[in-house]
């Protein structure tokens, strides 16, 4: 989509920390978006562990969310999801950039993530945003429906800070 359309939707999205009340809709979006979705309990555990969370609302509906785990000097992006009807409008990039800015403000020097090798759209986004592949986790993800073998994960890393991309 054009930058004007992306700017238009971005201007109407409200970003805020995820709340307990968001969990049913976030879990439903997760179920609709992923072959091995997180449960409400997984999101509740993320809250309990103090992970960073962010949701984007459009017309009072949650359309994007992310979960970021911080540890000394680094962050790990655990979940970044955009609802299907609002994909390809720049929300994933905006959400990723917001989470990375939060990580940098809290002292992270690098960020890691894992992504299914078949998720070409996500891999392309991460590459454009300065992530680079650093490893492969063989058989990391459960087999997608109809597949007989587990799927590998691509581990990616991005350095954060003044000299980093973005």
Give the active site residues.
114, 126
> CA-CA-CA-CA torsion for 118, 9, 69, 110, nearest 10 degrees?
80
Beta strands 110-116 and 74-82: pairing type?
parallel
Q: Please state, in angstroms and rounded to a whole number, the distance separating the CA atoms of residues 105 and 134.
A: 24
Q: What's the CA gap between 39 and 165, in Å, rounded?
A: 33
SS3 149: coil
């Amino acid at each position: 989509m054009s930058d004007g359309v992306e700017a238009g939707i971005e201007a109407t999205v409200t970003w805020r920390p995820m709340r307990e009340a968001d969990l049913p809709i976030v879990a439903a979006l997760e179920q609709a978006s992923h072959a091995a979705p997180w449960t409400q309990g997984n999101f509740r555990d993320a809250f309990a562990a103090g992970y960073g969370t962010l949701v984007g609302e459009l017309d009072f509906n949650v359309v994007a969310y992310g979960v970021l785990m911080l540890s000394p000097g680094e962050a790990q992006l655990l979940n970044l999801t955009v609802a299907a009807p609002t994909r390809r409008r720049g929300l994933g990039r905006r959400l990723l950039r917001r989470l990375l800015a939060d990580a940098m403000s809290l002292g992270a020097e690098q960020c890691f993530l894992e992504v299914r090798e078949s998720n070409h759209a996500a891999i392309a986004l991460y590459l454009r945003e300065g992530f680079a592949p650093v490893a492969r986790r063989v058989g990391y993800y459960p087999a997608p429906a109809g597949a007989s073998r587990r799927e590998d994960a691509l581990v990616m890393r991005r350095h954060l800070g003044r000299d980093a991309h973005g």
